[in-house]
Structure 1
Amino acid sequence: MSASAGQLSVSVIRMLRMLHATRARAPRVHPALEPSHHAVLLALRDAPARVGDIAERNISDASTVSRQVSHLTALGLVEKVPDPQDGRAQLVALSDQGHAVLDELVARREAWFVELLSDWSDEDVATFIHYLDRFCDTVAADERHHP
């Protein structure tokens, strides 16, 4: 396993470099929306959430997410709403414009990946997704045990 772990380490670093290099080609749907904001929008896709919950989900710190939320609020993509469980607290929710931007972003990303992986079989894509999700779950579990 040691040799495989070393090879995996090199491959993951290569993948991160490739993803960083392709950021310029990644779909953009709003001139002031950075790729780092996508994770916040996706975290709010299904329901409003507290900043701390978004940070935990995205393995980020609350201060970073708070700054991102402030930026997204200024853009009109998210809004603060009362927490129905605790009237003193606020949740962050996608605005109507935020939902529209996120829907467009997801559609453009999917189209980009369809083009990018056009010579992959459906089985290869499914296998890659399975192992990528498994790897991310392992890394996330390790992060929770070693903050």
Structure 2
Amino acid sequence: MVYTNEEIEQQLFILFRRSQAIHVSTKSGDFELDRSIYGILCLLDDEGPMRLGAIAHRFRLDPSTITRQVQAVIRLGLAAKRVDPTDRRAAILNLTPLGEETIAQARAHRRQVLYSILGNWSETQRWEFLAALRRFNNTVDGWIEPDDPISSAD
């Protein structure tokens, strides 16, 4: 079967629209996490404390946009800023214990939803889907910024 760019674009849009339906919340429902807060918490959980500029770079967003999003994370008590000991003019964002617990619960919830969605798929089908997603994401990263060390690290 040959896939056209039009069909691929349509399926990507459907994937994007349906992925929004996977609600981001903690198991207890204590927090309703919007996409930007969830993304910041996941990044800090995966990679540890980071400067705000590094977070902006990772998401390929303007630093002012990240600053607004980070303020929401701090307001909720999910992360805290501290002075960067290597450059006192810069701030480092790190998860608070509440942030660590919240992101663990939210990720567990999302993974359970994915398990329900993909429950009838064979292990081989899930591995093939994962491999295709990785390849697509790596290709997009290379297309966005071919010389970016972040793109080649993912």
Deviations 1:63-110 (A, max 9, x none): 221111101101100100222322332111101110010111111111
Aligned 8 A contact 1:27 1:112 in 2: no
For normalisation by structure 2, the TM-score amounts to 0.82
* CA apart distance, 1:60: 2.4
Aligned 8 A contact 2:79 2:93 in 1: yes
Matched position secondary structure for 2:90: strand
Give structure 1 stretches of 5+ with no counterpart: none
Output the CA distance in 1 between the equivalents of 2:106 and 2:142: 28
* CA apart distance, 1:143: 1.9
Alignment of 1:1-147 (within 5 A): 4-20=4-20, 22-23=21-22, 26-29=23-26, 30-45=30-45, 46-144=47-145
Aligned structure 1 segments of 4 or more residues deviating by more than 4 angstroms: none
- Once structures 1 and 2 are overlaid, which stretch shifts more, 71-80 or 5-14? 5-14
- Once structures 1 and 2 are overlaid, which stretch shifts more, 114-123 or 83-92? 83-92
* CA apart distance, 1:43: 1.0
Output the CA distance in 1 between the equivalents of 2:57 and 2:131: 23
Aligned 8 A contact 2:41 2:95 in 1: yes
For normalisation by structure 1, the TM-score amounts to 0.86
CA RMSD of aligned residues (A): 1.9
Q: Report the count of equivalent residues.
A: 141
Aligned 8 A contact 2:24 2:34 in 1: no
- Percent identity (aligned): 28
Output the CA distance in 2 between the equivalents of 1:132 and 1:44: 22
Output the CA distance in 2 between the equivalents of 1:33 and 1:3: 36
Matched position secondary structure for 2:50: coil
Aligned 8 A contact 2:41 2:103 in 1: yes
- Once structures 1 and 2 are overlaid, which stretch shifts more, 89-98 or 2-11? 2-11
* CA apart distance, 1:33: 2.5
Question: Aligned in 2, Cα 1:14/1:32: closer, same or farther, shift over 3 Å?
Answer: closer
Give, as a single letter, the amino acid of the residue that structure 2 aligns with 1:41.
L
Output the CA distance in 2 between the equivalents of 1:32 and 1:63: 23
Aligned 8 A contact 2:74 2:80 in 1: yes
Output the CA distance in 1 between the equivalents of 2:124 and 2:60: 30
* CA apart distance, 1:3: 5.3
Question: Aligned in 2, Cα 1:63/1:8: closer, same or farther, shift over 3 Å?
Answer: same
- Once structures 1 and 2 are overlaid, which stretch shifts more, 53-62 or 91-100? 53-62
Give structure 2 stretches of 5+ with no counterpart: 147-154
Give, as a single letter, the amino acid of the residue that structure 1 aligns with 2:12.
V
